[in-house]
Amino acid sequence: MSNKKIAIYPGSFDPLTNGHVDVIERALEIFDEVIVAVLHNPSKKSLFSSAERVEMIKQSMNGLTPVKVDTFDGLLVEYARMKKATAVIRGMRAISDFENEFQMALMNRKLNKDIQSVFLMTGLRWIFTSSSIIKEAAQFGGDISDMVPEPVHLKLMEKFPKLNS
């Protein structure tokens, strides 16, 4: 039996930001493999399709082998169990993240006590970074090039022509 420590890093990733990348890098210090799991939820409005989000993450990870990218739907803990993961990673920025994360972690523990929630603090530089604030700025042509990996920046420029000007 393999002793590989696998963690799931779930999220919407609409799109991936440098804050997410920072969390992935930190998770790799602890786990042998990190599966970045994009929530596939067609009823939730998103800028990018789940296939586009997966592709952007793969390109941004540049073939980094301990990182796998996948989509999931349904219960996160079910997906984690199927992947033989022992932990779920979530990034923490500010106190405002806490309440929702706490609630989610306790629900996940109730559903499967064998899967631990691990919270990683993002680097200070990314404390104010979120996918939604980046989309908001990009939509109106705001320069967000230092907040997302290059493949994401290129896709945002395709979606928002104002970013090119």
Find the DSSP H helices in the chain.
18-30, 50-61, 76-82, 95-111, 131-139, 150-159
Give yes or no for residue 18 binding ligand PNS (CB under 6 A): no
- Scanning 51-59, 104-112, 122-130, 133-141 for contacts with ligand PNS by CB under 6 A, the matching segment is 104-112
- The residue among 82 and 141 lying less far from ligand PNS, judged by its C-beta, is 82
In the region spanning residues 56 to 75, those forming contacts with ligand PNS, defined by CB under 6 A, are: 75
Pick the binder of ligand PNS from 17, 50, 108, 122 (CB under 6 A).
108
Residue among 40, 68, 81, 93 flagged as catalytic: 93
Catalytic residue status for 131: yes
Q: What residue type is assigned to position 41 of the chain?
A: N
Cα 122 off chain centre by? 12
Which one of the spans 102-110, 117-125, 140-148, 151-159 is the region binding ligand PNS (CB under 6 A)? Answer: 102-110
54-92: b or e for each residue (b if 16 or more CB lie within 10 Å)? bebbbbbbeeeeebbbbebeeebbebbbebebbbbbbbe
Round to whole Å and give the CA distance between 94 and 99. Answer: 10
Query: Exactly one of 30, 51, 64, 107 binds ligand PNS (CB under 6 A); which one?
Result: 107
For residue 104, CA distances in Å to 20, 96, 147 come to 18, 14, 27
76 is a contact residue toward ligand PNS (CB under 6 A): yes
Mark whether 20 is an active-site residue: yes
Q: Kindly tell me which residue out of 6, 8, 9, 10 binds ligand PNS, with binding defined by CB under 6 A.
A: 10
Where on the chain is the footprint of ligand PNS (CB under 6 A)?
10-12, 39, 75-76, 104, 107-108
